[in-house]
Structure 1
Amino acid sequence: MADLFPRVRTFALGYRMAEVDEYFNHARAAYEQPGLSDELAAIDVRRASFDLKRGGYSTAAVDSALDRLEVAFAVRVRERFIKEHGHDAWMAELARRAQVLYPRLRRPAGERFAAPGTLHTGYDRAEVDAALDRLTAFFDQGRPLTAEDVRSLTFKRRRAWGAYEERVVDAYLARTVDILLGAA
């Protein structure tokens, strides 16, 4: 069987090929025959992760394919919903889901998420707050913001007293991407 993605050099780290192949075969079946296999949602694709191995698949190539797959599943869900309930109902559903995000945006900078444990590191508070300010500007002022803008965010690591807990921030941003994909 031919490799699905380009491989990294022999001693470089890439994603474990068997895991990636299995995941993409499952995703293909779920997309091509919905209802016959386990359904996947865009957020499930975003949560996909693979172990690293020397000589594995290029992480950039696999991550790029995951982004495209996520969009494909999001578009299918949006089209199916609109066909059944109409465009206005879809926009109302997106607004309802976005309301869940809003309370955190209203918290003061530096207090939007919990800090990691004392001996741990997390995402730089100021950088995360700046990203959330962009999200607030999107909701309140209609400033441009895409799912790709949010997906491509990276934050410096800080010690606990200047950081937010990574898992909570990641989950919040994943929900944000889901909403932005639905609005696209």
Structure 2
Amino acid sequence: MTTASASAPAAFPETHGREKGYDRVSVDAFLSRARAAFESGDDPMTAADVREAAFPLVRRGYAIASVDAALGRIEDAFAARERESALSGRGGVRAWVGQTRETAQVVLDRLSRPRGRRFDRVSSLRYGYRIDEVDLVTDKIARFLETDESVSVEQVRSVAFRMQRGGYREAQVDAVLDAVVEVMLAVS
């Protein structure tokens, strides 16, 4: 006797061999919750919740790139709904633009710090993001915020940094990248 989930086709391509992917049960549960939240509007799920979703890595899991691409589209849908709601709500366009500008200015202030000092660093015994790589990416983001140089949401979402001892604190860098995505989705 087979269960419905055993006979249903996989939602995403699966990994093979030693390659790990996202735990299928966790991904399916999250996507089910996200769909229900979006369709009903009762669940307070936000674009930020989608962006922050994390899943255990397992063998024979879903291919990471495929799931991440789907999560990007879901985040875009939630962000568009949030923008529409904010624009039609109290304060309207002026409040939305003001909040977005404020967030962009906070990010820009952080990124205008000298190279090598934009984020806290971990101790020399621990690993953090490579400073030179983060500074290179944040330089490009700063130019985007200042001059509208071309940077896509997908480029920011998919950025990955190698690790180094004494590197930048990951949580701070990730928080700034999340804020950049929020600003980009707010104005798109």
TM over 0.5: yes
Q: Tell me, what secondary structure is at the counterpart of 2:45?
A: coil
Which of 158, 162, 181 is the aligned partner of 1:156?
162
* 2:74 matched residue in structure 1: 69
Which of 44, 47, 52 is the aligned partner of 2:57?
52
* 2:32 matched residue in structure 1: 25
Q: What is the CA RMSD across the aligned residues, in angstroms?
A: 1.6
Deviations 1:102-124 (A, max 9, x none): 32122111111111122111111
The number of residues matched between the two structures is 180
What amino acid maps onto 1:31 in structure 2? F
1:170 correspondence with 2:174: yes
Q: State the 1:11 CA deviation.
A: 4.4
What amino acid maps onto 1:65 in structure 2? A
* 1:121 matched residue in structure 2: 127
Q: State the 1:10 CA deviation.
A: 5.3
What amino acid maps onto 1:52 in structure 2? L
TM-score (norm 1): 0.90
* 1:98 matched residue in structure 2: 104
Q: Tell me, what secondary structure is at the counterpart of 1:164?
A: coil
Which of 127, 143, 150 is the aligned partner of 2:149?
143
Which of 13, 23, 30 is the aligned partner of 1:16?
23
* 1:109 matched residue in structure 2: 115
What amino acid maps onto 1:47 in structure 2? E
- Percentage of matched positions with identical amino acids: 39
1:182 correspondence with 2:186: yes
What amino acid maps onto 1:86 in structure 2? G
What amino acid maps onto 1:145 in structure 2? V
* 1:34 matched residue in structure 2: 41
Deviations 1:45-65 (A, max 9, x none): 111111111111111111111
Structure 1 residue runs of 5 or longer lacking an equivalent are none
Separation in structure 2 between the aligned mates of residue 127 and residue 9 of structure 1, nearest angstrom: 31
TM-score (norm 2): 0.88
Q: State the 1:20 CA deviation.
A: 0.8
